[in-house]
Amino acid sequence: MISCQWCEELADDDRDEVLALVAAAAEYDDEAGFSRIEPRDVTARTRTGVRVSHLAVKARRGLSALEDVPLVVVAYLQVAVDDEGLGTVQFVVHPDYRSRGIATLLVEELGLDVDRPDGWRGTGARALRTWAFGTHPAAERLTRRFRIPSVSRLWTLFRSLTGPFAVPLDPVAVPEGSRLEELRALDDPESVKALDDVLSRSGMSSAQLEKLSESRSYGTGSVVVASGDAGRSHGFVWLDPTLHTHLDLRAAWIRALVLEKESRGGGLGAGLLVRALEVLRDAGAQIALMRIDPEDDGAVRLCRLLSFEQEEAHTCYQVGDWHEPPGYL
């Protein structure tokens, strides 16, 4: 019913079909907030430290049983394997072919054996991870059927900035010896220097730092840096005031809030977060969105105090054993 073959780079025709597929899926899934694959991932190639493999999954148009019906791309899978053997999987089914068993057939075809000498299906992956964003019933059914355990979670939170449900944004005094600098572009050299400075003392795991670095390289928006009297950067908040529609409201994202370990617990995080909310409100956003780790008690407490509410839960699934927790932004 389906056919597929691994490749390091998609052929021109397959690449065009896959690009059309991920665009259709992104538009279809936008409001629900499900996982999406960026076009740059479709054209990604193996690079230093990461081996990339692509899989264009094909079937007869309309899942016809007739041999004279042409094959079309109905799903796409990519796996990026680092030098240690951790494979990060991205997968999407075309909206026209969902709930028709494509994902189940693919797992049955490929299997989940990561213990072979050359890793999963010859990709070198000794463990596999994938994030399922949003409460996607298909992801829940698939992982339950094949007994794929979850290893981490994220929450998407929202905070009303205007309208009848908006709580006033009361000013927050930052700790003595710290000040909030003016808003700067994410790629401003001063921003880059300050962010690297904070991250070097943040205590974040290597997986988290790698994910944040990747997101910064493609990201947009601005940052507010908290600095001290000696010019040392104590923390930052990264926000993107670009407006998009979310539940029929104008929404914008807070992408990251990071403090050096020594500056936590004194109110600096609240000061940065309130400043970011003010910027988004002034840019016309009706709600602000951000993601947090629900196991981070400090982040959960801070967001509750600032009237954030939980909207979605996201889950990281894993096949095989791995020594580091998942990276997330």
Res 328: pLDDT: 67
Tokens of 158: 């929202």
Tokens of 164: 């009848």
pLDDT tier, 168 (very low <50, low <70, confident <90, very high otherwise): very high
| pTM of the full structure | 0.87
- Rounded alpha-carbon distances, angstroms, from residue 49 to 14, 176, 322: 26, 43, 17
In whole angstroms, give the CA distance from residue 185 to residue 176: 26
pLDDT digits (tens, 9 = 90+) for 232-259: 999 999 999 999 988 889 999 999 999 9
Q: Which residues contact 144 (CB under 8 A, 6 or more apart)?
A: none
Mean pLDDT over residues 120-138, rounded? 91
User: What mean pLDDT, rounded, does the chain reach?
Assistant: 93
Mean pLDDT over residues 274-300, rounded? 96
Q: What percent of the chain has pLDDT over 70?
A: 99
Residue with tokens 């509410």: 309
CA geometry: angle 36, 238, 188, nearest 5 deg: 110
Res 208: pLDDT: 86
In whole angstroms, give the CA distance from residue 119 to residue 115: 6
Res 17: pLDDT: 97
pLDDT digits (tens, 9 = 90+) for 54-103: 999 999 999 998 999 999 999 999 999 999 999 999 999 999 999 999 99
Res 57: pLDDT: 98
Question: Which carries the bigger pLDDT value, residue 308 or residue 205?
Answer: 308
pLDDT digits (tens, 9 = 90+) for 22-33: 999 999 988 777
10 in Cβ contact with 42 (< 8 Å): yes
Res 22: pLDDT: 97
254 in Cβ contact with 235 (< 8 Å): no
CA geometry: angle 11, 84, 121, nearest 5 deg: 45
Helical (H) or strand (E) element with 69: none
CB count in 10 Å sphere of residue 165: 12
User: Phi-psi category of 84—alpha, beta or left, where left has phi over 0 and alpha has psi -120 to 50?
Assistant: alpha
Question: Which carries the bigger pLDDT value, residue 23 or residue 231?
Answer: 23
Tokens of 327: 């990276």
In whole angstroms, give the CA distance from residue 126 to residue 169: 48
Query: Beta partners for 56?
Result: 76
* Lowest-confidence pick of 53-62, 65-74, 172-181, 319-328: 319-328
- Domains delineated in the chain: 2-148 (3.40.630.30), 156-316 (3.40.630.30)
- Rounded alpha-carbon distances, angstroms, from residue 6 to 3, 78, 107, 313, 323: 11, 9, 14, 32, 27
In whole angstroms, give the CA distance from residue 143 to residue 162: 39
Res 32: pLDDT: 77
